Structure 1
């Protein structure tokens, strides 16, 4: 047995017929429902989530290199979501985030070393 769904125009490229073996029981929670007009989908029908702000910054120490990483807050429809990302990759994709950062909000490596602290544990 199969079900054919009537999908909104925005997601019309999704195949609309599902075999019953692919369906699973779902107990709906009304607080988790997202209106279609609020969803942003790319051409492959993935959710588009944008970074909102940089929350923190660290240096990841590897054996022979140091990699700057940042904690990013995303505008996820699934609730607040934070991830650690490579600073250079986020800066390349979303340079506008770094114009928001003030020098007082994130400590530089020089500030920490002048105070005599460890950069990873200020």
Structure 2
């Protein structure tokens, strides 16, 4: 099993001055694992790598809004990025917790349907989440 995993593992190495994205995980009340699509982990950034700490961890230059988060991260939490100064990415820095998660809050109810089974009526509600476009409503 180890040999199979080693064949498919890619070794990531970054140099000081490279830019990377940082993995954060959204939470909606209960943490959900194994769900694909829009509930999959998201990345924020790009952040510049200041230096390498140990064999598999890097120190990042985080903005002041993320001062409550420790600035050394394992390579598994990073994704490479070819830096271009015209790229602009917005994300809610003030809502990110120390464990790199943030709370998803509902903004509006878009639709409601009642589906009837044999003995029960199940309500289906389509919710627009804050910081997401309408096409990602669930």
- Normalising by structure 1, report the TM-score: 0.45
Greater fraction helix:
1
Greater relative CO, 1 or 2 (CA 8 Å, sep 6+):
2
- Normalising by structure 2, report the TM-score: 0.41
Structure number with bigger Rg = 1
Greater fraction strand:
2
